[in-house]
Amino acid sequence: MPEARIKIAKSDIVRTFDELPKKILGKSDIDRILEQNRQFWRLRRTMTVDEFLKFLLADTKLKEVRFDFPNRKIIRYVWGKAALYDVLMSLHPTCYLSHYSAMFFHALTIQVPKTIYVNHEQQAKSRGEGSLRQDRIDMAMKRPPRMSKNFTDYEDRKIYLLNGKQTDNLGIIEMQGPEGETVRVTGVERTLVDAAVRPFYAGGVYEVLNAYRLAREKVSVNKLAATVKNLDYIYPYHQVVGFYLEKAGVYKESSIALLRKFDLRYDFYLAHGMKETAYSEKWRLYFPKGF
């Protein structure tokens, strides 16, 4: 079949893509569309998906979007225009926004972060029981935090694709993005816990404290305490959450007391790698001096 045939079929090809329910596609989607319509478009049987893509990118409104993550490069194809968060939600079927990005969506920061955190949960790992000891906690928390290097630049943003703890998508909700798109994001309670656990993905401890203050009218402390319990961290992050609630100065003592019902068996730390610290006996917690 002559190569000109694809040019003749262009209007039918464009119509098919215009009628697609989604505008963000992977290579496998393009391949499926080609196979489903090859006969109707009267394209040669030997035409490959790469050849088809070359035509689409050169002669139609299909655009290639590349995310050059160090761990794995991801390519998406966008038909026409698509909202940024729609594209990001396509990085993995169950991914969601977390940390500073979730804080922004919930108006828990007055900043407009240029870094976007997309979380893809890893497979569940076996948990070592009985391994928590004070000397190990001290050693781990006095070191700098282990930050993901799996990020890439996209337009004027830095995009992190985090491989987060397996939680069965605990506390994930859907919200409307700035262009009317549907975005999966951690709910307020889960966001506050995540920010407390990984403040380096949330603008730092002062930004986290401000988020706890701004959350006063949005958060259920009962649900917050339940979220901490259900996330079942080995380290006693309930001490961090309780400290933030108290330090925020806007929560009732009866609410803060919910976090004191957890065990306070170990000294813990507000963040990794703190140099000069003060100590809260009430929460058995080290925090930056002057905080």
Q: CA nearest 207: which of 96, 115, 103, 102?
A: 103
Domain ranges of the chain: 4-79, 84-125+132-288
4-79 has which CATH code? 1.10.10
Quote the pLDDT of residue 5.
87
Quote the pLDDT of residue 128.
56
Task: Answer whether 215's CB lies under 8 Å from 106's CB.
Answer: yes
Single-letter amino acid code for the residue at 128 = G
Quote the pLDDT of residue 27.
97
Q: What is the pTM of this model?
A: 0.93
Q: CA nearest 281: which of 255, 235, 246?
A: 246
Quote the pLDDT of residue 169.
94
Q: CA nearest 48: which of 61, 65, 30?
A: 30
**Which residues are CB-contacts of 28 (< 8 A; sequence separation ≥ 6)?**
none
Distance in Å from the first CA to the final CA of the chain: 73
Residue 286's SS3 state is strand
Quote the pLDDT of residue 41.
96
Q: How far apart are CA 119 and CA 8, in angstroms?
A: 43
Quote the pLDDT of residue 20.
96
Q: How far apart are CA 263 and CA 33, in angstroms?
A: 56
CA distances for 76 relative to 2, 66, 200, angstroms: 29, 7, 29
- The values of phi and psi at residue 269, to 5°, are -135, 140
Quote the pLDDT of residue 123.
80
**In a structure prediction context, what are the per-residue pLDDT tens digits for the chain, which is 291 residues long?**
446 889 999 999 999 999 999 999 999 999 999 999 999 999 999 999 999 999 999 999 999 999 999 989 999 999 999 999 999 999 999 999 999 999 999 999 999 999 999 999 988 776 555 578 999 999 999 999 999 999 999 989 999 999 998 999 999 999 999 999 999 999 999 999 999 999 999 999 999 999 999 999 999 999 999 999 999 999 999 999 999 999 999 999 999 999 999 999 999 999 999 999 999 999 999 999 999
Quote the pLDDT of residue 1.
41
Q: Both tokens of residue 12? A: 């039918």
